[in-house]
Amino acid sequence: MDFSLTEEQIMIRDTAREFAQSEVEPKAIELESRHEFPMELTNKMAEMGFHGLVIPEKFGGAGVDYLSYLLVEQEIARASISLSMTLGAQNSLVAIPLMECGSEELQKKYLPKIASGEWLGCFALTEPGAGSDPAGMATTAKRDGDHWVINGTKIYITNGSVSKLAIVWAKTGTKPDGKAAITTFLVDREQSPYRTGTIEHKMGVHASPTTELIFEDCRVPASHMMGKEGEGFKIALSTLNAGRLSVATQCIGIAKAAYERAKRFSKEREQFGKKISEFQAIAFKLADCAVGISAAELLVQKAAWLKEQRGARDPEFISLAAQAKLFASEMACRVTDEAVQIHGGYGYMKEYRVEEFFRAARLMELVEGTSEIQRLTISRWELRD
């Protein structure tokens, strides 16, 4: 088994690393403190082709393999988790379902806009009464001639306030078995306006807007239905399966950023006449952090390989993606907590940034399926007959 990256993957990773270190890192603290969407940096990412990493070249994208995209995601997350959220939304939550389930007409019209960064997209699934259980959604779509009329409210939508396109899930009826028929729609904000409601005040990740989206008699052309009517739940799960690897690699980026700062600080800080890295208590903390990061990287690599081989709906991939997301998110929480502890009082101060990474890591145990949902997914695979 060869764990080495290809020359192309190394080049893509290093390009992202250089951009993150030179362009993003110097502005990261200011962006978080202002609570502003980083439009200038977002546009620069688009110019570098990062918004369309997974999109085929015929639609203006880079057409790279999924691991290459994940490597870019990790490097951006090391500098700014907020900016990496936009990157993840464009690639894993918007482009992928459009590529896999959108009509050729929709792909030709919208994928180039996403790849170029001309348009930002969002993934609108979660509702006030439907988080871990999407089947409990209240948003409806009713057929009216050659349109669908959508009514409902979505919450916790990354980049909802700056999006021009939303992938939206709504109930369109009832299946023969009595379960809700959930269908997926591509909603063009210019053609089918939707409103931004509350912009949430969060514990962290302040430069990435998390918003409420309100759909009031939103008329969407019938041609904008993605996949078949009633198959939206499958599309959502498939998208989330791949997206969990995106979250896992963001966690690795967060953990690496905190770990590197803690290691550097421990080599500089002196107490009782020597560097604190020379104390076994600190050295062992750093060792545990290194093990966790390495293990998470291997899980993500294997899951990315399996996705390329079998696709995002393969049962074994689904379990492995859940394992990667679960382990990496909990690892990031442990590593960032230790980074704060190693810094002591300095770790509580914003200028050292480890407290920022600590707050960001806590989010990762919640998004794209909580840790409890990941354990449910994994246990179903392990206990299969």
Say which of 32, 212, 330, 368 is annotated catalytic: 368
Return the closest-CA partner of residue 327 out of 279, 375, 363: 375
Dihedral angle computed from the Cα positions of residues 93, 99, 101 and 104, in that order, rounded to the nearest 10 degrees: 140
3-state secondary structure of 31: helix
State the first-to-last Cα distance of the chain, in angstroms, to the nearest integer. Answer: 29
Could you tell me which residues are beta bridge partners of residue 183? Answer: 170
Q: What is the DSSP string of 222-255?
A: GGGEESSTTBHHHHHHHHHHHHHHHHHHHHHHHH
Beta-carbon contacts of 243 under 8 Å, excluding residues fewer than 6 positions away, are 88, 92, 93, 96, 368
Paired tokens of 341: 């502890």
Tell me the residue ranges of DSSP E strands in the chain: 121-124, 140-144, 147-158, 165-174, 180-188, 195-199, 210-221, 225-226, 270-271, 274-275
Helices 371-382 and 315-343 cross at an angle (nearest 10°) of 140
Determine the Cα–Cα distance for residues 97 and 184; give it in Å rounded to an integer. Answer: 10
Paired tokens of 127: 């509702």
Cα dihedral across residues 133, 139, 144, 145: positive or negative: negative
CA atoms within 13 A on the CB side of 100: 22
Query: Catalytic: 18?
Result: no
CA atoms within 13 A on the CB side of 305: 11
Cα-based distances in Å from 144 to 57, 58, 168, 185, 307: 36, 34, 18, 15, 38
- Catalytic amino acids? 368
